[in-house]
Structure 1
Amino acid sequence: MPEGFTAILVAVLGLAVLFDYINGFHDTANAIATSVSTRALRPQWAIAMSATANFVGALTGTAVAKTIGSGLITPQSEGGLVVAAALIGAIVWNLLTWRLGIPSSSSHALIGGLLGASAAAIGFGAWQVDGIVGKVLFPLVSSPIAGFAIGFALMVVIFNLFRRAHPKTMNDRFRRLQVLSAAYMAFSHGSNDAQKTMGVMTLALVSAGILPEFKVPLWVIILAASAISLGTAAGGWRIIRTMGTKVVKLDPVHGFAAETTAATIITGASLLGMPVSTTHVISSAILGV
């Protein structure tokens, strides 16, 4: 075992990888459900594409990781146990909602776990209120609203541009375009969600004294990107059915608009270091279109 790596630290890192993997198959539906439901992509091809795009997206930055690892709670000597408790709570919640086929937010489960565990172990003084309000609560409220509004507006623009097109021609065109929008959606998912795992892993490393400051190591980035990609490849058919068929009936044009809207919002949030819920954003975008 490398110097400084205690059993607790190794267990925390293992839990983080497990959470990332589960997050991958739990949230696969967010990226591909609309494409599968509109038959723009076969399920197997959709999952393979999504896994690849998730991996690439996860390599694009660490702003969200910094927010999760250093912008919400203060690293303490108890950090390893705090992170472990947060991860266990998030994992249990994800598995429960996956089993029931309920689309829920892995991001909020993890963030809620971190805040709850740190408050229990250290006290509410461990919370960084400015970071929580600015980087969590604000995007938590605004991103679904933006998803609905932008999705609605984009559909109005598309229908005006193609108002004279035959429905079959329109569906054929957007079925092809939806391959690109699905890849964009998967890329954005990786860019935001994988970074959350990078953040908690780096937080654990800083708390254990392995790292002198919060800077995500390359091996953590690769490990998190690989775990979410492999999890995505495993798929999550229960939630795919809910997102793709039970929320609203979709045509290819609706799927394209919803995915493009959600992916743009999530990518923007990633660049700003804001952890957002892929589930909430794509769900609201679907309702908007």
Structure 2
Amino acid sequence: MAKPVLDKDLKRVAGLELATHNLARSLAAPGIALVFLLAAAVWASFVVADGPTSYMVVIAAVIAGYMALNVGANDVANNMGPAVGSKALTMLGALLIAGTFEAAGALLAGGDVVSTVARDLLIGDQLDGDTFVLVMMAALLASALWVNLATIIGAPVSTTHAVVGGVVGAGIASAGIGSVAWPVVGTISLSWVVSPALGGLFAAMLLAFIRATITKRIDKISAARVWVPILVALMTGVFTMYLATKGLKRIWSPGLTMVLLLGLGFAVLGWLVAMPLIRHQSLKIENRTKHIAKLFRLPLIVAAALLSFAHGANDVANAIGPFAAIVTAVQTGHAQSADITLPLWVLLIGAIGIALGLALFGPRLIRTVGEQITKLNEIRAYCVALSAAITVLAASALGLPVSSTHIAVGAIFGVGFLREYVAIREMKGNAVPVHARFLDPATLNATPEEALSKDRQQAGRRLVRRQHVLSIAAAWVITVPASAALAALVFLVLGLLIG
């Protein structure tokens, strides 16, 4: 009798140890994040000059760090999700590459859109200096809280839209509707529709092109030797122009002619490099789509890394834009200075916070984007990454503001729905009764039309998960009004506590 009792006791001890270990792991990430926020506060207290409102900068530094963590946790998934979902990268590899390139982009080229986030959304003569600081603090905290909630429920949202909503809501709460630059807000709102539509369209077109030129050919390997280097050249040229126009403005701002020449030059270089590599790789693969997809693995990884660099350069402003405006307002005493300064220490808080947020909290959203919307392989993921860069370039040429989150998720929907469309067409054109291919008792006695209808429903569930389409779309729609309402509430609370 003693042995069974002893075994039960040992099992209880082992279960307790496992529970303790799991609890420690779950608390490790928030603990590290808290240490970072405390470090940001201490850093700001040493850097900022002593004054009656210097404590505001310290508080704002903590809020900016919190927002940077949330940008890393939510936004970066859009760049690395397809690469992880297609198994081109492991989660650890994606975190290392994304963290490195996000931080590099934020430090080397970040801050170009700070003025839009921090200054252009509000009319300066409607707010005094102290009120403006409270507005920016409320906007930053409210947008961070909203993005944090979206991350918890697994919804990829636009941090840019969250910040815009926060600034609008806090501005209205402080000085009324007249304090908001509504034409700027209206222009930004266009991206709600433009971003996912363009991303999905370009991704579907790329996938259809690859199907027509490579994967549906009888001799797939020979077709791949011709077209994959051309696609790599397209990617190289597009990303060169993308980085020159969007990702490196803080370092260098070339004219249109130079951008086009750079794109053409690097496209030729990409083709020359890809030709022998693809030919060498093609000697080791079989004439099957699954093996052809492996030829896109390295281009996909490069594309994901470059997207991360450009994302860090552009979206770091969502974390430090309002913070930079607060620092400038405290130093100058004016609500909206003509030139918002961007000290290196401010940029570092954003860069470190994004990389840390990605490492600590990013895997969940990476899996949602890469695995839970539709099934991706290297080819489809490559189409998503390349379409994101093409969409940003096209929108910039048209003068339309777009969201990288909406583009990437829209591109994933685009390739998924294209696959559904193709699958349904193939079902329609198949002469064999559709229900004969599915050993489902519910369809064995059905008419071909009834079986076809059932197969369409099965294909829809299999290729694109409708639940995620609806939940993500709902999160997009309510991001601006929700963050605006939350910012108005936070502004009133901060006014009571600080003002």
Q: TM-score, normalised by structure 2?
A: 0.54
- Partner Cα separation in structure 2 for residue 206 and residue 124 of structure 1: 24
Distance 1:190 1:143, change over 3 A: same
1:39 aligns with 2:87: yes
Equivalent residue, structure 2, for 1:115: 168
Give a deviation string over 1:101-148, Cα, whole Å, max 9, x none: 2222222111101100110011111111232223x1233331221111
Residue 234 (structure 1) shift: 2.3
Deviates more, 1:70-79 or 1:272-281: 272-281
Q: 1:155 aligns with which of 163, 182, 207?
A: 207
1:3 aligns with 2:50: yes
1:71 aligns with 2:120: yes
Tell me which structure has the larger Cα radius of gyration: 2
Higher relative contact order (CA 8 A, sep 6+): 1
Q: Which amino acid aligns with 2:307?
A: M
Residue 272 (structure 1) shift: 9.4
CA-atom RMSD in angstroms:
2.4
C-alpha contact 2:328 2:341 (8 A) present in aligned 1: no
Q: 2:406 aligns with which of 271, 280, 283?
A: 280
Q: Which amino acid aligns with 2:289?
A: P
Distance 1:79 1:115, change over 3 A: same
Alignment of 1:46-125 (within 5 A): 46-58=94-106, 59-75=108-124, 76=127, 77=129, 78-125=131-178
Give unpaired runs (5+ residues) of structure 2: 1-44, 221-287, 416-499
Distance 1:62 1:95, change over 3 A: closer
C-alpha contact 1:80 1:204 (8 A) present in aligned 2: yes
Residue 194 (structure 1) shift: 0.5
Q: TM-score, normalised by structure 1?
A: 0.90
Distance 1:274 1:194, change over 3 A: farther
In structure 1, the residue corresponding to 2:109 is in which secondary structure?
coil
Q: 2:308 aligns with which of 186, 196, 221?
A: 186
Q: Which amino acid aligns with 1:28?
A: V
Residue 284 (structure 1) shift: 0.2
C-alpha contact 2:325 2:340 (8 A) present in aligned 1: no
C-alpha contact 2:384 2:412 (8 A) present in aligned 1: yes
Residue 271 (structure 1) shift: 9.7
Percent of matched pairs sharing the same residue: 30
Q: 2:186 aligns with which of 121, 133, 155?
A: 133
In structure 2, the residue corresponding to 1:117 is in which secondary structure?
helix
Residues matched between the structures, number: 288
Distance 1:145 1:177, change over 3 A: same
Q: Which amino acid aligns with 1:65?
A: V
Give unpaired runs (5+ residues) of structure 1: none
Give a deviation string over 1:224-272, Cα, whole Å, max 9, x none: 2232122223242222222112111111100111012124434776899
Alignment of 1:261-272 (within 5 A): 261-266=387-392
Equivalent residue, structure 1, for 2:426: none
1:232 aligns with 2:358: yes
Q: 2:367 aligns with which of 241, 254, 264?
A: 241
In structure 2, the residue corresponding to 1:208 is in which secondary structure?
helix
Equivalent residue, structure 2, for 1:171: 293
1:204 aligns with 2:326: yes
